[in-house]
């Protein structure tokens, strides 16, 4: 997790440095949008192929080589002559977008093999805490690094962070390399025991589905994963809500600079930086509370935590653009970060209850849906902000997420009520 946090710092540092470098190299703001579009499209394609790739190779090898590839492409950018800078930037956007998605799918799907099923929530919370700290450090230091030592030094730092992460992955002991172990049936009648989130009304498909997936050719495994999601409607709805949530995230990401400029045209970066720092602080606090809750009760936050967290997070982001005093907005940013942390842990932990044969496919499908939601959202939101206020755009985008979250909670609450009734078998 330390290696992951270090590489995340380089990613957030480069998120600022690369966009500025693209603009300085091309002299066109449109180029920055195209750079981001290529990056998101590469992540979208990588999500589609992640399940099949992890069926052929171990998660450890995928995590190792994705970090090596990202370090190598940064080295290519550093030494590229002026005439090849544009081509090098395209290569960076493709490699960073695709390898970043493959790394995250591999990491999340192999966590149960790393730490055991009972410590999934703790491990997910730890990784999100490290990423939040890296986000604060990356965004806070980007301006200083670029201003004082230049773009090349920023790219060298980023390359070094990927190298550090590759070394930690190489030293990491994962049972079977993260291939996943098929779950065995338990119980006197040979039936599979439900996963830890089964009582949440969104239980994943059982081991038989994993066996069916393993017996199919690699090219047919994505349809098997889709069939598994269809067989557990709440799980499919959970992934759909994640995509809608990504669309909402694109709205506040695009609207924050516009809103900040309206507040203080001479120093527009101040509000944006402060907001994200407070968001990250709320996220970190939430992770500490989740870890303590898990240690004290031995339970995870479960699927309902994802729905409730999405409701609170979307509501908080809408209120952030409502023109409240800065003190109140600071509290809203903390709440938004804490709720976002809750949704991340509950969502990741629940997908990890899937059988090993389906887990990587589900995370790959999830990454594809998230990239699609965020990418489509960025296009729609950018067009809408030319005609409507940030509050209106964010309100509609996160309003859709609130509606889908309410449907998800209703879907999850039904089986919970049935299971808790005295007449239930």
**The CATH number of the domain covering residues in 229-415:** 1.20.1250.20
pLDDT at site 332: 95
CA distance linking residue 162 with residue 414, whole number of Å: 45
Long-range CB contact pairs, 83-92, < 8 A, 24+:
85/25, 86/25, 86/26, 89/18, 89/21, 89/22, 89/25, 89/35, 90/38, 92/18
| Residue in the structure block whose two tokens are 């402060």 | 274
CA distance linking residue 10 with residue 4, whole number of Å: 10
List where CATH 1.20.1250.20 sits in the chain.
1-178, 229-415
- Which residue from 24, 166, 41 is spatially nearest to 96, judged by alpha carbons? 41
- Which residue from 175, 108, 125, 114 is spatially nearest to 362, judged by alpha carbons? 108
Spell out the residues 6+ positions from residue 414 whose beta carbon is closer than 8 angstroms to its own. 201
pLDDT at site 232: 53
pLDDT averages per 10-residue partition of the chain, 425 residues: 90 79 69 77 87 87 93 90 83 91 90 83 85 82 76 89 94 67 41 41 46 46 54 73 90 83 72 83 86 74 84 94 91 93 87 78 85 84 84 92 91 60 49
Neighbour-count burial for 148-158, b at 16+ CB within 10 Å, e otherwise? eeebeebbbbb
pLDDT at site 305: 85
Show the tokens assigned to 315: 């509501």
pLDDT at site 199: 40
pLDDT at site 402: 94
* Separation in Å, CA 124 to CA 107, 118, 162, 290, 409: 10, 12, 20, 10, 22
pLDDT at site 221: 47
CA distance linking residue 421 with residue 311, whole number of Å: 27
CA 65 from chain centre, in angstroms, equals 20
Show the tokens assigned to 68: 């090596």
Show the tokens assigned to 294: 């898990």
Q: Does the 1-178 domain belong in CATH 1.20.59.20?
A: no
| Length of the chain as a residue count | 425
């Amino acid at each position: 997790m330390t290696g992951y946090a270090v590489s995340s710092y380089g990613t957030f540092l480069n998120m600022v440095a690369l966009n500025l470098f693209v603009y300085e190299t091309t002299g066109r703001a449109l180029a920055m949008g195209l750079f981001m579009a290529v990056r998101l499209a590469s992540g979208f394609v990588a999500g589609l192929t992640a399940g099949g790739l992890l069926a052929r190779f171990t998660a450890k090898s995928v995590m190792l080589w994705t970090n090596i590839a990202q370090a190598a492409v940064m080295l290519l950018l550093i030494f590229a002559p002026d005439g090849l800078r544009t081509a090098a930037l395209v290569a960076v956007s493709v490699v960073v977008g695709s390898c970043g998605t493959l790394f995250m799918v591999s990491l999340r799907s192999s966590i149960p093999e790393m730490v055991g099923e009972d410590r999934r929530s703790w491990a997910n919370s730890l990784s999100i805490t490290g990423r939040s700290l890296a986000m604060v450090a990356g965004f806070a230091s980007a301006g200083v690094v670029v201003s004082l030592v230049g773009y090349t030094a920023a790219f060298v730092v980023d390359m070094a962070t990927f190298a550090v992460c590759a070394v930690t992955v190489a030293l990491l002991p994962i049972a079977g390399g993260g291939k996943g172990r098929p779950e065995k049936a338990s119980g006197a009648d040979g039936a599979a025991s439900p996963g830890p989130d089964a009582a949440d009304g969104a239980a994943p498909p059982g081991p038989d589905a994993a066996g069916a997936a393993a017996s199919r050719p690699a090219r047919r495994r994505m349809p098997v994963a889709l069939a598994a999601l269809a067989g557990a409607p709440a799980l499919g709805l959970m992934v759909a809500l994640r995509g809608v949530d990504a669309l909402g995230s694109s709205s506040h990401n695009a609207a924050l600079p516009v809103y900040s400029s309206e507040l203080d045209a001479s120093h527009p970066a101040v509000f944006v930086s402060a907001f994200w720092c407070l968001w990250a602080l709320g996220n970190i606090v939430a992770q500490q509370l989740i870890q303590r809750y898990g240690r004290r009760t031995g339970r995870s936050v479960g699927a309902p935590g994802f729905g409730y967290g999405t409701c609170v997070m979307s509501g908080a982001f809408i209120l952030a653009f409502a023109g409240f005093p800065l003190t109140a907005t600071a509290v809203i940013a903390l709440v938004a970060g804490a709720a976002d942390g809750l949704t991340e842990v509950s969502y990741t932990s629940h997908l990890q209850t899937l059988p090993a044969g389906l887990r990587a496919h589900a995370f790959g499908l999830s990454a594809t849906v998230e990239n699609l939601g965020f990418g489509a959202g960025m296009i729609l939101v950018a067009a809408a902000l030319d005609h409507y206020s940030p509050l209106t755009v964010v309100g509609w985008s996160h309003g859709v997420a609130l509606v889908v979250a309410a449907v998800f909670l209703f879907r999850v609450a039904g089986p919970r009520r049935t299971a808790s009734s005295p007449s239930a078998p």
